[in-house]
Structure 1
């Protein structure tokens, strides 16, 4: 009997140690992933400001400066461009040139990653966008400010517009509906599988790094707060299910427009339908120049 009890204790210790080691391994791998996620490389495709744009910078409350390019408006309407995860100021340069050609002002700024700060998937980026918005409003030619955001930049734009009525319109492209879904359901994993365990490890550690549970980051619930200001939602056909494009459209209130680009995946909207993209974008923004601020 004594031998049996000793064997049982040894087996119990073994399984506890094995479980602790496995859990530690899951957390270690998850931590490595979160570190890479929050510290992506800041890549510049252009060294100098494009023709018609001037260098500028926006000072954050923490002291860091976000470098950017500014083009003043001819019609009183300026658009704040917010690129995707870890983007630099040239990531939406095609859109910037298009808007400038049609008389709109444009501010395109680096993401916080380029200033040495960690990315936060649109959370703290919305606070950075508030500072950029105030910079635009200080320019003498500006009467109204709209936002165009892609992916995490779309999340930042939605979060800012939901809390600041001075944003007169929002264009968002390929944004996630909630951070929890983005982490745990894209793609969904078999319960208790290795992928499932890693996803939950990432969710736990990401919440710690962000200083809030990921369940609290729900752009889909912020959409309705933007009304009665107009919102344009753009998604690719291949990402529409994962991003819950139709649900996000239903969550928003009028005036609202949804465009699901046929055959497009994340970020391929203007590549798959360049003419339609230009027409829709400019028509949507032209309505603002006809509205008195």
Structure 2
């Protein structure tokens, strides 16, 4: 009788454990679709495409709409997808800024940044990340597979335009992509990096968003993110903890300017400090007062331009 009770208890425990595992796995797949499969995201604010004169970056966006854009194409670094970019030339300039969009943004959303670099005398090469805009792809890589695509874009730029000095600029996910790219072996023509509001690692950012968007406590957040990371390994090819800006910055010796809004709750402001500390090259940091996520430029347009121009003047002839 006692043995039968123990057997039933063990069977009940196993069933409960299996149900919990099934529940967490299902939740993991749900969050993978929310975070990593391209599409409309309810947690992202939709920005109006209508130009308004009250916009502090009205003139930059107006310039971009009228600018003549060349469409460039390459295959992704893993040769799976066709990628597209805008190339906007500046007269006979031998300087090019590679401008990297954020999460679910496209090259068309980066017009004010193209304008900023054009004003400084740079060509701009602005790719759609894989699975965003007109670039092919199944999943959002949060910068980890994209870093290799950026390296390939740089090589294509140098093959196509010849003598160039290259600057890599990224915003949000694009900023993380820029930092991750900085740890790769790159051509000597790459002179400097600028990152604006990038995260320390994909895992850190996913854990943060799970807490903020779903008010999720440490448990079940921790096991869910681990399951999500495992699914990401199967689908995208990497564990999220391995996709680290900090670790890549440890291998970077090129100059880098770090920018972050002081009121950023999407990629928390505190993330800029370990990123800044990690890089081994010359570095500068600016925490823009009262700026929310990806709003440092619109909040402080003249100061933003001044700081970017002053930084680049030190490293790009």
| TMscore range, shorter length | 0.7 to 0.9
Does 2:117 correspond to 1:91?
no
Q: Which runs of 5+ in 1 are unaligned?
A: none
Instruction: Identify the residue that residue 67 of structure 2 maps to in structure 1.
Output: 51
Does 2:165 correspond to 1:140?
no
Instruction: Identify the residue that residue 280 of structure 1 maps to in structure 2.
Output: 307
Moved more, 84-93 or 55-64: 55-64
Does 2:293 correspond to 1:263?
no
Asked if the contact 1:49/1:69 (under 8 Å) is kept, the reply is: no
Instruction: Identify the residue that residue 124 of structure 1 maps to in structure 2.
Output: 145
Match runs of 1:87-236 below 5 Å:
87-114=105-132, 115-140=136-161, 142-166=163-187, 167-185=190-208, 187=211, 190-191=217-218, 193-227=219-253, 229-236=254-261
Q: Which of 63, 73, 89 does residue 72 from structure 1 map onto?
A: 89
- Aligned with 1:282: secondary structure? helix
Asked if the contact 2:28/2:228 (under 8 Å) is kept, the reply is: yes
Q: Which runs of 5+ in 2 are unaligned?
A: 41-45, 51-63
Structure 2: how far apart are the matches of 1:150 and 1:139? 25
State the shift of 1:122 in Å. Answer: 0.6
- Aligned with 2:104: secondary structure? coil
Structure 2: how far apart are the matches of 1:171 and 1:218? 17
- Aligned with 2:25: secondary structure? helix
CA 1:137–1:86: 2 relative to 1, 3 Å: same
Does 2:248 correspond to 1:250?
no
Asked if the contact 2:262/2:269 (under 8 Å) is kept, the reply is: no
Moved more, 273-282 or 173-182: 173-182
State the shift of 1:241 in Å. Answer: 5.1
Structure 2: how far apart are the matches of 1:13 and 1:70? 63
- Deviations 1:124-176 (Å, cap 9, x if unpaired)? 10111112112211233652111001222222222222213422110111111
CA 1:288–1:218: 2 relative to 1, 3 Å: same
Structure 1: how far apart are the matches of 2:173 and 2:268? 17
Structure 2: how far apart are the matches of 1:179 and 1:277? 26
Structure 2: how far apart are the matches of 1:158 and 1:225? 10
- Deviations 1:207-227 (Å, cap 9, x if unpaired)? 333433333222112224322
Corresponding pairs, count: 285
State the shift of 1:50 in Å. Answer: 4.1
Give the TM-score normalised by the residue count of structure 1. Answer: 0.86
